[in-house]
Chains A and B, each alone.
Chain A
Amino acid sequence: MSGAEGTAERRPAAGTTPPALDVERIRADFPVLHQEVYGKPLVYLDNAATTQKPRAVIDAVSRFYAHDNSNVHRGVHALSQRATEEYEGVRGKVREFLNAASERELIFVRGTTEAINLVAATFGRARIRAGDEILLTEMEHHSNIVPWQLLAEQVGATIKVVPITDTGELVMESFEQLLTDRTRLVAVAHLSNALGTINPVRRIIQAAHDAGVPVLLDGAQAAPHIRVDVRELDCDFYAFSGHKIYGPTGIGVLYGKEKWLEDMPPYQGGGEMIRQVSFTRSTYGDLPAKFEAGTPNIAGAVGLGAAIDYVRGIGLDAIAAHEHAVLEYALAAADAIPGMRVVGRAREKASILSFVLDGIHPHDIGTILDRQGLAVRAGHHCAMPVMEHYCLPATARASFAVYNTRAEVDALMAGIRKVQEVFGL
């Protein structure tokens, strides 16, 4: 068991360009990274599931509870005003982060899953009818499949699926063929969590708009790794989760173009979202309140604000460049290990190393890596259609974030050789 020892001290292999980013300083911002599991230094490579939180986010959440906690939008007192200002201030940060035109276009939700369900339940039920088609892709996360299936069952619509190639790219000719005069919505991952593919979303949006079809982008994986500009993309909806971008769980964002959001019926009913209520009729509040019924996750939003500040402080381009270098390094190292096969080799790819080993089930890989301090995911990654495409029950997946290093990739590869050794391969 020499593989994972002294990981933190090890330097990247000679001859590789060092990343411009000071990773050791960044690592110092994340308390959770500095621990041992089973007596080995923790190497956290499950960032696509959730990222760790920097001190700034942890402190922002506890500072809010320690000093400003109150409900929003309803009190006349000082604390309520402070809480409201902080909460709404985060909406401003999200607007800048996504370059949305207006804060009215940004709805706080629980996460990507709720954002997509919101669109399915409101936009979907108002505009999608029997015989209509919803166009998805084979690489979607279950949360960008099941809400559409539920809707399709309710209204009698049909789901169409753009296939993927064996390298894990969308078959764009099929996309163009499947986009018909019956298509009412295209919903596609910006970055695939199972394969790491960055989809050609500009081209998709252009083609869909030429056909008069709006596009929802599932940005759960993209938001932490790619700079997103919703106006430049011209997408109609964009969803992401706070917890995958170094923020708290239970908070996320749905961006929607104002023209759609104005048009859509409310999602949930309750407090916050109304203007007037009587038993004969209620009228709804303005955007974005119309879609935020009930007391929101205020502290979560505050934490998300701190996470966005943190990410913008480093800069998404610098983060992307660093992660790209780590991923390239990992792909090359993976290719040098006999019996290791990377699943998903799209030309445009980020942050995800999905792989299988000959003769060893991913679940066994996960257990043996875990005992070496290496946290990876083993399973179908909530993308069973992807597994089916490759005829695999599961893959193992290492996913990288801003704080991961080449030394950690070395530890992973040493761990993988150890797995093979345990299995006598």
Chain B
Amino acid sequence: MSDLRDLYQEVIFDHNRNPRNFRAMEDANRTAEGFNPLCGDRLTLYLKVDDGRIVDASFQGSGCAISTASASLMTDALKGRTVEEAEGLFHGFHDLITGEGGAPVDLGKLEVLSGVREFPTRVKCATLAWHTLNAALDDQGEPVTTE
């Protein structure tokens, strides 16, 4: 069961039980919706971007422990970053989860999700929030899906 413990680390349970930044944002200027039709995970991401910098990030939705923790950790990590830095995190996180190489990016706390790599069926749960972030930054009107 050791690989299960690698996936379900304490930090992930903590963020699943008490997701950070779990609220709607009245004055958001970027929002996007993400949906994983396979498992029904849904989330709405709210960003306040000011002069190229993400000054606030929050989300709402329902999903599994992995997708909830991922969104919680992501919104924490985004606050105070420039849009460019956020895009760097997106690529770094993607590489971490899929095990693909790339220039290593310092992901800080996000690295607790690295165990997902051993669970290919769960990669989409971990990346849903990030794809939604991409959509929010591109300001696409359409909801993104993982399919």
Contacts and interface: CB of A to CB of B under 8 A. Distances in A.
B4 A363 contact: no
B1 A394 contact: no
A371 B40 contact: no
Nearest to B41: A393
Contact of B64 (A364, A371, A387, A424): A364
A292 to B, nearest CB: 32
A379 interface: yes
B38 interface: yes
Contacts of A394: 39-40
B14 to A, nearest CB: 10
Interface string B1-19: 1011001100001000000
A364 B40 contact: no
Nearest to A395: B40
Given A361-B63, A393-B62, A422-B8, A367 B121 contact: yes
B65 interface: yes
Contact of B13 (A367, A371, A380, A423): A423
Size range of the interface on B?
Answer: 20 to 34
B65 A364 contact: yes
Given A1-B1, A367-B122, A387 B40 contact: yes
A393 B119 contact: no
A361 B38 CA distance: 13
B8 A362 contact: no
Contacts of A311: none
Contacts of B13: 423-424
Contacts of A121: none
Contacts of B125: 363
A368 interface: yes
A204 interface: no
B66 interface: yes
Interface string B57-76: 00000111110100000000
Contact of A379 (B3, B38, B65): B38
A363 B3 contact: no
Contacts of B68: 361
A360 B13 CA distance: 10
Contacts of B3: 371
Chain A, interface size category, equals: 10 to 19
A127 to B, nearest CB: 33
Nearest to A1: B1
Nearest to B17: A359
Contacts of A371: 1, 3-4
Interface in A390-425: 393-394, 422-424
A384 to B, nearest CB: 8
Q: Which of A1, A380, A422 has the most CB of B within 10 A?
A: A422
Contacts of A380: 39-40
A378 interface: yes
Contacts of B66: 363-364
A368 B64 CA distance: 12
Nearest to A371: B4
Contacts of B131: none
A361 B63 CA distance: 7
A31 to B, nearest CB: 24
Nearest to B61: A393
B25 to A, nearest CB: 23
Contacts of B121: 367
B30 interface: no
Contacts of B40: 379-380, 387, 393-394
A374 B47 CA distance: 40
A416 to B, nearest CB: 14
B8 A363 contact: no
Contacts of A422: 1, 4, 8
Interface in A344-368: 360-364, 367-368
B1 to A, nearest CB: 6
B94 interface: no
7 contacts: A1-B1, A361-B68, A362-B64, A364-B65, A368-B4, A379-B40, A387-B40
Q: Which 5 A-B pairs have the closest CB atoms?
A: A393-B40, A361-B64, A363-B64, A363-B39, A394-B40
Given A361-B63, A363-B125, 15 more contacts: A1-B1, A360-B65, A361-B39, A362-B64, A363-B66, A367-B119, A368-B4, A371-B3, A379-B39, A379-B40, A387-B40, A393-B41, A393-B62, A393-B63, A422-B1
